[in-house]
Amino acid sequence: MNAIATHCPYCALQCAQTLTPETSGVSVAGRDFPTNRGGMCQKGWTSASVLRAPDRLTDPLVRGASGELEPTTWEAALDLVALRLREIRAKHGADAVAVFGGGGLTNEKAYQLGKFARIALGTANIDYNGRFCMSSAAAAANRSLGVDRGLPFPLTDLGGAQAILLLGSNVAETMPPSVAHFAGARDAGGLVVVDPRVSATASLTENGGGVHLQPVPGTDLVVLLGLLHVVFAEGLADPAYIADRTSGVDDARRLAAAWWPARVEQVAGVPEERLRATARLLAAASPSQGGSGAYVLTGRGVEQSSQGTATVNAAINLALALGLPGRIGSGYGAITGQGNGQGGREHGQKSDQLPGYRMIDDPAARSHVAAVWGVDPAIIPGKGKPAVELLDSLGRDDGPKALLVHGANIRVSAPNATHVGDRLDALDLLVVCDVVPSETAQRADVVLPVLQWAEEEGTMTSLEGRILRRRKAIDAPTGARSELWVWRELATRLNAPGTWDLDPSDVFDELARASAGGRADYSGLSHARLDTEPDLYWPCPATEGEPHPGTPRLFLDTFPTADGRARFVAVDDRGPADDVRADAPIHLVTGRVLQHYQSGAQTRRVDELVAASPSAFVEVHPVLADRHGIAAGDIVTLTSARGIVSAPARITDKVRPDTVFMPFHWAGDENVNRVTSDATDPVSGMPEFKVCAVTVARAVTPATPEPTGLRRATEVPA
Q: Three-class SS string for 217-277? A: CCCHHHHHHHHHHHHHHCCCCCHHHHHHHEECHHHHHHHHCCCCHHHHHHHHCCCHHHHHH
Per-residue confidence at 133, pLDDT binned at 50, 70, 90?
Answer: confident
pLDDT, average across residues 573-591: 97
Q: Do residues 500 and 487 lie in contact, with contact meaning Cβ atoms separated by under 8 Å?
A: yes
Helical H segments across 286-404, by residue range: 300-303, 308-321, 341-346, 363-373, 387-393
- The three-class DSSP label of residue 131 is helix
Residue 718 has pLDDT above 90, yes or no: no
- Closest of 633, 596, 589 to residue 614, by C-alpha: 596
C-alpha separations of 143 from 147, 538, 562, 568 in Å = 8, 19, 11, 9
Give the phi and the psi of residue 312 in degrees, each rounded to 5.
-65, -40
End-to-end CA distance of the chain: 43
pLDDT, average across residues 322-344: 94
No. of helices (H) and no. of strands (E), the chain: 25, 27
Task: Tell me how far apart the alpha carbons of residues 625 and 352 are, in angstroms, rounded to a whole number.
Answer: 46
pLDDT, average across residues 413-423: 97
Q: With respect to CATH, is domain 61-133+340-520 assigned 3.40.50.10490?
A: no
Q: Do residues 622 and 629 lie in contact, with contact meaning Cβ atoms separated by under 8 Å?
A: no
Provide the percentage of residues in the chain whose pLDDT is more than 70.
Answer: 97
- The three-class DSSP label of residue 477 is coil
When computed from its CA atoms, the radius of gyration of the chain, rounded to whole angstroms, is: 24
Read off the pLDDT of residues 584-621 as tens digits, 9 standing for 90 and up: 999 999 999 999 999 999 999 999 999 999 999 999 99
The domain segmentation of the chain, as residue ranges, is 61-133+340-520, 146-338, 586-698
Residue 701 confidence (pLDDT)? 56
- Give the CB-side neighbour count of residue 619, counting CA atoms within 13 A: 24
Residue 707 confidence (pLDDT)? 38
Q: Do residues 316 and 325 lie in contact, with contact meaning Cβ atoms separated by under 8 Å?
A: yes
Among 152-166, 201-215, 664-678, 689-703, which stretch is predicted with the lowest mean pLDDT? 689-703
Proportion of the chain in helix, strand, coil states, percent, rounded to 5: 35, 20, 45
CATH of the structural domain 146-338, one choice from 3.30.499.10, 3.40.228.10, 3.40.50.720, 3.30.56.10: 3.40.228.10
16-22 and 4-7 strand pairing: antiparallel
DSSP secondary structure letters along 67-109: SSEEE--HHHHHHHHHHHHHHHHHHH-GGGEEEEE-TTS-HHH
Task: Tell me how far apart the alpha carbons of residues 162 and 230 are, in angstroms, rounded to a whole number.
Answer: 20
For residue 547, what are the contacts with CB-CB under 8 A and spacing of at least 6?
A: 524, 529
List the Cα angle 502/504/507 in 5-degree steps. 80
Residue 28 has pLDDT above 60, yes or no: yes
Task: Tell me how far apart the alpha carbons of residues 560 and 563 are, in angstroms, rounded to a whole number.
Answer: 8
- Give the CB-side neighbour count of residue 153, counting CA atoms within 13 A: 24
Residue 25 confidence (pLDDT)? 83
Read off the pLDDT of residues 480-513 as tens digits, 9 standing for 90 and up: 999 999 999 999 999 999 999 999 999 999 999 9
For residue 201, what are the contacts with CB-CB under 8 A and spacing of at least 6?
A: 166, 169, 170, 171, 172, 173, 179, 193, 195
Q: Do residues 374 and 629 lie in contact, with contact meaning Cβ atoms separated by under 8 Å?
A: no
Cis amide prior to 560 (ω within 30 degrees): no
Q: Do residues 325 and 331 lie in contact, with contact meaning Cβ atoms separated by under 8 Å?
A: yes
Residue 703 has pLDDT above 70, yes or no: no
Global pTM value = 0.95
Residue 702 has pLDDT above 80, yes or no: no
Residue 426 confidence (pLDDT)? 98
Q: Do residues 117 and 288 lie in contact, with contact meaning Cβ atoms separated by under 8 Å?
A: no
Task: Tell me how far apart the alpha carbons of residues 495 and 508 are, in angstroms, rounded to a whole number.
Answer: 23
Residue 711 has pLDDT above 70, yes or no: no
Residues in the chain: 718
Task: Tell me how far apart the alpha carbons of residues 341 and 347 are, in angstroms, rounded to a whole number.
Answer: 11
Residue 717 has pLDDT above 70, yes or no: no
The highest-level CATH class for domain 586-698 is mainly beta
Per-residue exposure over 546-570, b if at least 16 CB sit within 10 Å of its own CB, e if not: eebebbbbbbeeebebeeebbbbbb
C-alpha separations of 509 from 119, 490, 504, 523 in Å = 19, 22, 9, 8
Read off the pLDDT of residues 213-244 as tens digits, 9 standing for 90 and up: 999 999 999 999 999 999 999 999 999 999 99
Residue 337 confidence (pLDDT)? 84
